[in-house]
Structure 1
């Protein structure tokens, strides 16, 4: 039986041999857009509602996506894959985050928790939702999203939440309590756990028995279409952003996210001697839009909610042309 992850493996071999042909890139985006359009249409005719979107999102996030990541990472040669790619990914994040922090501290005089939200808008990618489909159908290898996922879920999000938690009014926590909360956080995320388990299987060379791996592989095939259909539903049902964020600030964040971050990752990858195919993947994953869970954090802590909402919307709209241009230029 050919599942979605089996198709991903075939695409991976083709990309490693031939690179990123233009028609394959356009086909990948067409495929993603078509599935998103299906979700939009299903919501428009009221076959799916907000409740169905929630179910699809939870099923994809907590079950299908971890299964896909486990299968893909368990079959990925990790020696040399994570080290250089992780460094280049971190360099891209730093290239976008540092200018925002400097401007927010020296010019805008923002609070630390507001700076945390703004920095995430400028450098924290939508790797869990849009990242997996882009990696699978545009880049041809879902494993290519792993460095970004590990960096964000294992380091960046815990640090941001620790800063937000420290700035929460009316809540007093010791430094040690805040630290251990941040340490535990990555291991409560199913994407991180599945990626680490897959890496462990790859490093040890142990293969799970077929009666375990086949169902996991089959469930993993639901991840990409489930995420995209849910995203299409959200486009139909979700509110459009309103006014409230200065255009200059929103433009600055968008520029950092869609231009500076991918350029930083590509430059670092080039300096580290990463091959051309992996360089394209680095630049594309860095050009993913701001993650939707930034708005969840901003709302929960009541900090920079308008910036989070508008940055997610604008970078999501701008990411497709940005990724297309990056792929065509670099590939």
Structure 2
């Protein structure tokens, strides 16, 4: 009973905030999605990542091991999902990228923070940074054929990750007034991302939910298995292991829908994937948390 209460305390705020965003739209209130998303992705989230890495007490060697495990996990997920798409005779442009990339930002970061504190957040931002770089390069290429390394280097969240890792490695610290400012900006990120997740899902028009539900279940099962295997193979400590499994298992991100819409893939099919995998995660992620906590 204690573990169930703990899991509820961790997962309920995440899904309740997303539900508030969902209800906000359904009640007819305005929500400037582009402005809020841009604010979170260009200001608040980079500050959160930078401060979390700079102030983490995790040994750099442990972060390196988690990074290698995350790279190996995403490589394995890519191979398996490529096989799934080919065997199912599905469109590569529409289905491959969503089946690889999870919602490591909107869902993964809050879950890691609420479940495992600052140490968990430190691991989570590293995995999120790896996923973001992969998504903005090869992920964009999968959808459009036009991924660009130059574009990645211009992304503020990538800069926040690189600078945070540099400050951690060198043991540097920003002045207290600047740290407090960056920390205050970073505190906006998680509630903003969760509210925006609910808003974005409320505005989706999902299609082909039968296929989407089957693929969402396959993605969840494959990602949990691979995350667990890589955490064990790299000998990660308990919290790092748990965060890796949770991050790799997060549902399909709304950004997959936005990319499909932007580059002419089947956005309606991707919307179905986002909705189906997010609903599935409401049940699966609390159970997974109970197993790894």
**TM surpasses 0.5:** yes
Select which of 1, 14, 22 maps to 1:32: 14
Specify whether residues 64 and 89 from structure 1 end up closer, same or farther in structure 2 by C-alpha distance, changes over 3 A only.
Answer: same
Alignment of 1:177-196 (within 5 A): 182-196=148-162
Instruction: Indicate the residue corresponding to 2:103 in structure 1.
Output: 126
Contact persistence 2:49–2:157 (CA under 8 A): yes
Change in CA separation of 1:327 and 1:60 when aligned onto 2, cut-off 3 Å: same
- Structure-2 change in CA distance of 1:107 and 1:132 (3 Å): closer
Question: For structure 2, which runs of at least 5 residues remain unmatched after alignment?
Answer: none
The correspondence for 1:283, drawn from 245, 249, 253, is 245
Which stretch has the larger CA shift, 86-95 or 253-262? Answer: 86-95
* Contact kept in structure 2, 1:78 and 1:203, CA below 8 Å: no
Moved more, 37-46 or 69-78: 37-46
Match of 1:60 in 2: 40
Q: Deviations over 1:239-287 (max 9, x none)?
A: 44133x6x3x434531332111121111111122112222111111111
Q: Report deviation, 1:235.
A: 4.2
**Residue in 2 aligned with 1:262?**
224
For 1:194-273, what aligned pairs fall within 5 Å after superposition? Answer: 194-236=160-202, 238-243=203-208, 247=210, 249-273=211-235
Task: Spell out the pairing of 1:1-331 with structure 2 (5 A cutoff).
Answer: 21-46=3-28, 48-51=29-32, 53-76=33-56, 77-105=58-86, 108=89, 114-140=91-117, 141-166=120-145, 182-236=148-202, 238-243=203-208, 247=210, 249-331=211-293
Give, in angstroms, the shift of residue 190 of structure 1.
Answer: 1.6
Describe the superposition over 1:99-158 as per-residue Cα deviations: whole angstroms up to 9, x where unpaired: 3312433552x5xxx414422221201122222222222342322222322222223430
Q: Normalising to structure 2: TM-score of the pair?
A: 0.88
Give the direction of change, closer, same or farther, for the CA distance of 1:256–1:192 in structure 2 (3 Å limit): farther
Secondary structure in structure 2 of the residue aligned to 1:138: helix
Q: In 2, distance between residues paired with 1:43 and 1:143? A: 32
- 8 A Cα contact 2:213 2:276, kept in partner: no
Give distance in 2, aligned partners of 1:165 and 1:291: 17
Name the Cα RMSD after superposition.
Answer: 2.4
Give the TM-score taking structure 1 as reference length: 0.78
Contact 1:298-1:305 within 8 A present in 2 as well: yes
Change (3 A) 1:138 1:88: same
Summarize deviations over 1:198-235 as a string: whole Å, max 9, x none: 11111111111112111111111111112222333334
State which drifts further: 152-161 or 99-108: 99-108
Higher helix share goes to which structure? 2
Q: Who is 1:11 aligned against?
A: none
4+ residue segments displaced more than 4 Å: none
Would you say the 8 A contact 2:44–2:186 is kept in 1?
yes
CA-to-partner distance for each residue in 1:267-316, whole Å, 9 max, x for gaps? 11112211222211111111111111111221122123233111111111
Equivalent-residue separation in structure 1 for 2:126 and 2:180 (angstroms): 25
